[in-house]
């Protein structure tokens, strides 16, 4: 029987956090510990310990979601960790399904699940590009992140080997870590909708940052010397080109110079 630590980073989402924690406490497979990392909230988030006395609550000054998740990982006492964003919710059997999967597949140390999207209390269709395939996680995630953090269960040995979340990335920190792992490890898919992602609220990080590819290319540039180098180069060329077009359109001279230079580098590398 595996023991799981659940890590929930949060910032000013007290009401949503209560829903998230309740979904953990309702699991058919009981988590061994639930860790809340309050990343500098100034609402009623600290009251969560009164609502759920058995959880572990830690406060830190606001440093971002990567810092909060990493703090939870460091504090977790178990080898298996599951992540849950405070605006998401788990299906009752989420942990049960993943625990069973890893018991039956002892050589796979990370898994994720399919997801349901809800907006204004109604389920909405998941865009085709986010539909799960479950074959080669690196190939399926290289253009954009198709593994929701709230769906992930992984063994700490992967974090020891490939590192924690990159705290220098404001967004796409999950994309960055999953690709580092997927370069060398098989990642399992439980093809059931075992998490609910609630879309459309104002504080979603993806709504706060334009040009997400600006952050993705930082991750891809770390992966040039891997077995996927050709695919990485191809994807970088596509993203540099799109960012260059945007820079030209809005007359961003500094960005024009940056992405022109990066494209020139790729052309020279391709000739080498």
Dihedral in degrees, nearest 10, Cα atoms 57, 168, 230, 107: -20
Q: Given a cut of 90, is residue 17 above it in pLDDT?
A: yes
| Level-2 CATH architecture, domain 4-208 | Alpha-Beta Complex (3.90)
Q: Given a cut of 90, is residue 201 above it in pLDDT?
A: no
Question: How many Å apart are CA 109 and CA 105, to the nearest integer?
Answer: 9
Q: What is the pLDDT of residues 159-190, one digit of tens each?
A: 999 999 999 999 999 999 999 999 999 999 99
Q: Given a cut of 80, is residue 210 above it in pLDDT?
A: no
Angstrom CA distances, 210 to 94, 167, 170, 189, 206, stand at 32, 19, 12, 30, 8
Percent of the chain scoring above 70 in pLDDT: 95
Q: What is the pLDDT of residues 219-270, one digit of tens each?
A: 999 999 899 999 999 999 999 999 999 999 999 999 999 999 999 989 887 7
Percent of the chain scoring above 90 in pLDDT: 88
Q: What is the pLDDT of residue 207?
A: 47
Q: What is the pLDDT of residues 231-240, one digit of tens each?
A: 999 999 999 9
Of 271 and 179, which is predicted with more confidence? 179
């Amino acid at each position: 029987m595996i023991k799981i630590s659940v890590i929930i980073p949060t910032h000013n989402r007290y009401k949503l956090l209560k829903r998230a924690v309740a979904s953990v406490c309702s699991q058919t497979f009981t988590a061994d510990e639930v860790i809340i990392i309050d990343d500098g909230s100034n609402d009623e988030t600290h009251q969560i310990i009164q609502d759920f006395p058995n959880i572990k609550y830690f406060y830190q000054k606001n440093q971002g979601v990567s810092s909060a998740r990493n703090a939870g990982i460091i504090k977790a006492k178990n080898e298996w960790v599951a992540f849950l964003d405070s605006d998401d919710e788990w299906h009752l059997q989420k942990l049960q399904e993943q625990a069973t999967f890893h018991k039956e597949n002892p050589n796979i140390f990370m898994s994720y699940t399919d997801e349901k999207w809800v907006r204004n209390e109604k389920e909405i269709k998941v865009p085709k590009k986010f539909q799960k395939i479950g074959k080669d996680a690196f190939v399926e995630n290289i253009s954009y992140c198709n593994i929701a953090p709230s769906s992930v269960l992984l063994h700490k040995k992967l974090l020891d080997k490939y590192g924690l979340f990159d705290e220098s990335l404001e967004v796409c920190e999950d994309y960055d870590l999953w690709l580092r792992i997927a370069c060398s490890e098989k990642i399992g898919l439980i093809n059931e909708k075992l998490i609910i992602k609630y879309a459309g609220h104002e504080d979603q990080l993806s709504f706060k940052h334009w040009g997400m590819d600006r952050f993705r290319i930082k991750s891809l540039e770390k992966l040039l010397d891997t077995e996927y180098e050709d695919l990485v180069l191809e994807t970088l060329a596509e993203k540099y080109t799109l960012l260059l077009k945007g820079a030209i359109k809005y007359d961003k001279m500094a960005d024009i110079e940056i992405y022109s230079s990066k494209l020139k580098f790729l052309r020279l590398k391709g000739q080498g």
